A and B are shown apart, each in its own frame.
Chain A
Amino acid sequence: MSGGPEDPNLERLRALQTLPEHVFSSPVPLFGPLIARFRDLWNSIATKWYVSPLILQQSEFNRLAVDRLHLQAVDLTEHGTSLANHEALLKDLADRLDSHTARLDELDARLIDQDREQSALTHDLGEAAALLVQLNRLLDSLDRRVASLEEGAGLNRERA
């Protein structure tokens, strides 16, 4: 990813951020240094007094801009790393969600099975209860018949 602290483009910008003052020179033999000295002198009279502040201002602006770009590049790198971490986290969460959903579906299916099983047991209990009532009824009937027989037998004994 470009824009990081080690980005060569940013390093080039940083190298160019300060504008150097122009140094006059001349290739003329013998008089060259004199000519250059004259140009320098003339430059300091004619333009240096207002160009130098502009150069300083531009250099300061460039420095601030490069610093800012550097900070943003650092931020961008950090955000990139964070995004990658979040993507990994999201994938992990999605995997876990899939796993939980599958588990939940299994639990749902088991609960439904248990619910149905409970109904089947309740049904069977209802049948058993109904039959128990019938058995009690039969026992009552038998009790009455036995009592009646015993009463008859008692009367016969008395007669005998």
Chain B
Amino acid sequence: MSPRLRLAYFSPLPPARSGIADYSQELLPHLAEVADVTVFIEDPSETSWLAPPPLRLLPIASYAGKRWEYDITLYQMGNSFYHAAIYKTALRYPGIVVLHEHGLHHFVTSQTLDPGRPAAYAREMGYALGAEGLQTAREVGMRLRPPPFFETPLTDRLLDRSLGVMVHSRSAQEELLRRTPTLRVAAVPAPVISYSSTGHRAELGLPGDALLFATFGLVTPEKQIGRALRAFAHLRANVPNAFYLVVGDCEPAGIDLPALVRELALEESVLHAGYAADLDVFVDLIAAADVVINLRLPTQGEASATALRALAAGRPLVVFAHGWYAELPDDVCIKVQPGDDDALLIALTELADQPRLRDELGRRAAAYAAQAHSPDKTAAAYIEFVEGVLRDLRHHLGGAPT
């Protein structure tokens, strides 16, 4: 029997406005059941999360001196500035990266271009694409073109250094292997917890017969809120009791949601709840929805925590059929072709007209989430992959010891 693994675990934690903070909050207690886990964050005094024993929280600054105490280090890496210190440590002390999106271009620009370091950006582009990347970086620096956020993932340096990578979709795994065939990479299920929730529906002040569609998460152009609201506006012409709830902040330079709602004359039927700081409130709002619309175009291979929470809450879910979303079983959600507005309207109309379809979808969704995405299952997949990497290392570096 293998000895119990000792893992160092890097991740943002609540109250960071990051889905990965919630992810880790839910996964860590389960991971701690099968391994000795020490969590490293920038400042342990700033987290609102009370780590259940035997989990320990330590500052990232202390990791360098303690790194020999761990069999392997896990780095949760996402596409936001919350991961800056994690990224630096992962480059300096290679471990296993859990890559939540297969592109990190937004993150890299937040660390290079945004603070006025175009040479650092050029270095990353050069690393990824050679001379062509340097030329593109120069043009971006001179504002002749926008950064190629979705065309160039800028994960090459991190992947080259890492001992292994875990992702949450087969499509992301295939994409990584296409780019780096020698990479140790595994697709592990994203975890989700099913919360018992009564929902916040009464607090929304809706009519008793209201049919509530909802979208969750940061309102960005990629979330296609405009497309969803246009389909909803068409739907509402025939379904006057339909309402639409938007939960999440709007990016300052992104979608102007109030203007969009005015343009579509939906002032009476669209509610904007803003950012739900508390996870309990967030899942309550999901439970309050009759249909959750979770569109992404383009997708960066991310597994959507919102989509998983909707499935776990037994909510009918509408997604675009690509990336991770396409890998969801066909009978637990409704998938429409990316960008097909007619198909989207048909899907919403079917869900509005058929309460039984909503019930059946929701039931199957909850069963699927409980079976395929339990945190225990994710923790077991983590351990299996880490042990596989260590076995591979022993084999790769001389065959012993075991």
**CB neighbors of A among B148-175 (8 A):** 157, 160-163
The answer on a CB contact under 8 Å between A123 and B161 is yes
What string of 1s and 0s marks CB contacts (under 8 Å) between A94-133 and chain B? 0000000000010011011001100110110111111111
* B127: A residues at CB distance < 8 A: 112, 115-116, 119
Q: Are A122 and B401 in contact (CB under 8 A)?
A: no
- Total A-B residue contacts, Cβ distance less than 8 Å: 70
- Please tell me which one of the listed residues A109, A122, A129 contacts residue B161 in the complex, with CB atoms under 8 A apart: A122
Asked whether B68 lies within 8 Å of A130 as measured between CB atoms, the reply is: no
- B95 at interface by CB-CB < 8 Å: yes
Of B205-213, B339-347, B388-396, the one contacting chain A is B388-396
Q: Is B397's CB within 8 Å of the partner chain A? A: yes
Task: State whether the Cβ of B71 lies closer than 8 Å to any Cβ in chain A.
Answer: yes
Question: Which residue of chain A lies nearest to B130 when distances are taken between CB atoms in the complex?
Answer: A112
Chain B binding surface, main DSSP class? helix
Contacts of A85 in B (CB 8 A): none
What is the interface size of chain B, counting residues whose CB is below 8 A from a CB of the partner?
Answer: 29
Contact between B126 and A108, CB atoms less than 8 A apart: yes
Q: Is the CB of B126 within 8 A of A112?
A: yes
CB neighbours of B123 from chain A (8 A): 115
Tier of interface size on chain A: 20 to 34
- Is the CB–CB distance between A123 and B160 below 8 Å? yes
Residues of B within 8 A of A130 (CB): 71-72, 163, 390, 393
Bound form: Cα–Cα A127–B72 in Å: 10
Within 8 Å of chain A (Cβ to Cβ): is B49? Answer: no
- State the CA gap A112–B162 with chains docked (Å): 18
B233 on the interface (CB 8 Å rule)? no
Whether A127 and B160, one on each chain, are in contact in the complex, defined by CB atoms closer than 8 angstroms, is no
In the complex, what residue of chain A is closest to B133 when comparing beta carbons?
Answer: A112
Question: Which A positions have Cβ atoms within 8 angstroms of B?
Answer: 105, 108-109, 111-112, 115-116, 119-120, 122-123, 125-138, 141
